[in-house]
Chain A
């Protein structure tokens, strides 16, 4: 019964998306593709000349691509769970409209998450085709990197959704982008191994969902994944999602049932 209600909310976002999909494809797919080209091929030729060993014996392009996959998923997720949620609860009030129907706050929450998962799946699939076209894949296990990338994105979307619904202004989003997303994007192993970071910073990276997503996507793409490590990464991401779900049930209810 709950699933059916959530699907009703999901259909709302789908109808909305028919108008906005073109813009979102650009930021969510084209942007990482540009990074792949510029960094992977451009910067890559400089890096490959001297440092292939520290990348695990592969070219920089092959090293970078799965990292960008996870990072692009994070970016799409953060974008989808900040402004659209604030708009729905504060400016356009479509959440309040839905709350006046049989839907409960948790259904509204789940419906948006379903839509976010759909967008992540679409964008990550497209990006994976691009990666394959660039010849940056080393192992058939890379197929499993698709659900891992989606899971990584959801590990951001779920808790950020739960947070965004409590907001009245977007100031905290700017902080989130500047002090959360961009440092993560740069320092979570996407562009260089975190072994390059000073020892004391590394544990911070291990806490972030992005590092887990990058590490697992990369090991799958390179064919170096082990079952133990893979399970550990997935468990961590699932754990973050579970906590986010509990938080979101509370925050959505508090905001919509005043």
Chain B
């Protein structure tokens, strides 16, 4: 029996479409008040998992309980307590901003005055109050996404599900969305999000799982994962394409904990970037460019799967 503050409990959760396995048996728990992430490339099974949690996709196998209820028998009751920000906005583009909120609130059976009150506050929260009576169609992608977020909160959900919340947005819009989500976190809303952006996962998530090809490769906080699977710093080197392979061979002798040879760069995982760079020059190599940076979740993913997050 799960502890009371475990809101979602999954063991061996699986989903297949015919012969294709989208999710191959994953385990995770979601705790109240945390921001939990599924980080992985396209096709990892993140959206399929979100749809199962959202009770719009029946699992093919395993255990899944949400708020102590079963998605197969208690779908409507669970969905009444969830908020969903889907990957595609699903707004009614012919209605106004405010009408979209009102209609959605009615789906939950909320009384008119309650919806009106919440809609006003939510429009304030996502900074769309001045566009309330405008039709949705001409709004920018970032505004539509903020409206979708406002809409997802109309029923004051216990868990907010966000499927790739900033995909397709320009950098300014992305930061605006992160800012809103961060505030929600501070207010204690429990968040579950999927993303293939490592910076989004690092910024927003308290805990995350790295997903690849339908399976969970690792679990922990961003800091823990980086500490476990990577070094504090990374030295990125670029050589002349003609010398690339030779350089890789010579670098095998460099004092690095690990080396990754990519198509266009060589990555050395070390404790101290500057010291490593001196060592590289000491081997007689002169790279075209060199860059010292901190490890990211991208490096964690590379270590775990041998591939990059964005392909």
CA distance A135 to B75 in the complex (A): 55
Given contact pairs A92-B93, A93-B88, A100 touches B56 in the complex (Cβ within 8 A): yes
CA distance A100 to B83 in the complex (A): 8
B84 nearest CB neighbor, chain A only: A100
Q: Are B107 and A8 in contact (CB under 8 A)?
A: yes
Q: Are B90 and A101 in contact (CB under 8 A)?
A: no
Q: Which residues of A are found within 8 Å of B88, using beta-carbon distances?
A: 93, 96
CA distance A51 to B10 in the complex (A): 76
5 CB-based A-B contacts, threshold 8 Å: A5-B76, A100-B86, A101-B80, A102-B107, A103-B76
CA distance A20 to B95 in the complex (A): 11
Q: Are A15 and B56 in contact (CB under 8 A)?
A: no
CA distance A19 to B93 in the complex (A): 12
Given contact pairs A96-B86, A102-B79, A11 touches B54 in the complex (Cβ within 8 A): no
A200 contacts partner chain B, Cβ-Cβ < 8 Å: no
B124 contacts partner chain A, Cβ-Cβ < 8 Å: no
Closest 4 A/B residue pairs (Cβ):
A97-B90, A101-B107, A102-B76, A100-B84
B58 contacts partner chain A, Cβ-Cβ < 8 Å: yes
Q: Which residues of B are found within 8 Å of A39, using beta-carbon distances?
A: none
Q: How many residues of B contact A (CB 8 A)?
A: 31
Q: Which residues of A are found within 8 Å of B79, using beta-carbon distances?
A: 100-102
A247 contacts partner chain B, Cβ-Cβ < 8 Å: no
Q: Which residues of A are found within 8 Å of B92, using beta-carbon distances?
A: 12, 16, 92, 94, 97
CA distance A19 to B103 in the complex (A): 14
Minimum CB–CB distance for B49 against chain A, Å: 13
CA distance A101 to B57 in the complex (A): 13
Minimum CB–CB distance for A98 against chain B, Å: 6
Interface residue range, chain A: 20 to 34
> What is the 8 Å Cβ interface bit string for chain B, positions 77-113, against chain A (1 contact, 0 not)?
1011010101011111111000100111011110000
Q: Are B103 and A11 in contact (CB under 8 A)?
A: yes
Residues of A whose CB lies within 8 Å of any CB of B are 4-5, 8-9, 11-12, 15-16, 19-20, 92-94, 96-104, 256-258
Given contact pairs A100-B54, A100-B79, A257-B57, A19 touches B94 in the complex (Cβ within 8 A): yes
Minimum CB–CB distance for B250 against chain A, Å: 52
Q: Are B90 and A15 in contact (CB under 8 A)?
A: no
Given contact pairs A4-B109, A12-B103, A257-B58, A96 touches B76 in the complex (Cβ within 8 A): no
B294 contacts partner chain A, Cβ-Cβ < 8 Å: no
Q: Which residues of B are found within 8 Å of A8, using beta-carbon distances?
A: 106-107, 109
Given contact pairs A92-B92, A97-B91, A102-B109, A258 touches B57 in the complex (Cβ within 8 A): yes
CA distance A256 to B75 in the complex (A): 13
Q: Which residues of A are found within 8 Å of B106, using beta-carbon distances?
A: 8, 11-12
Q: Are A16 and B56 in contact (CB under 8 A)?
A: no
CA distance A20 to B102 in the complex (A): 19
Q: Are A15 and B95 in contact (CB under 8 A)?
A: yes
Minimum CB–CB distance for A35 against chain B, Å: 30
CA distance A199 to B51 in the complex (A): 55
CA distance A101 to B101 in the complex (A): 13
Q: Which residues of A are found within 8 Å of B91, using beta-carbon distances?
A: 92, 97
CA distance A257 to B84 in the complex (A): 15
Q: Are B104 and A102 in contact (CB under 8 A)?
A: no
Q: Which residues of B are found within 8 Å of A101, using beta-carbon distances?
A: 79-80, 104, 107-108, 155
Q: Which residues of B are found within 8 Å of A19, using beta-carbon distances?
A: 94-95
CA distance A257 to B56 in the complex (A): 5
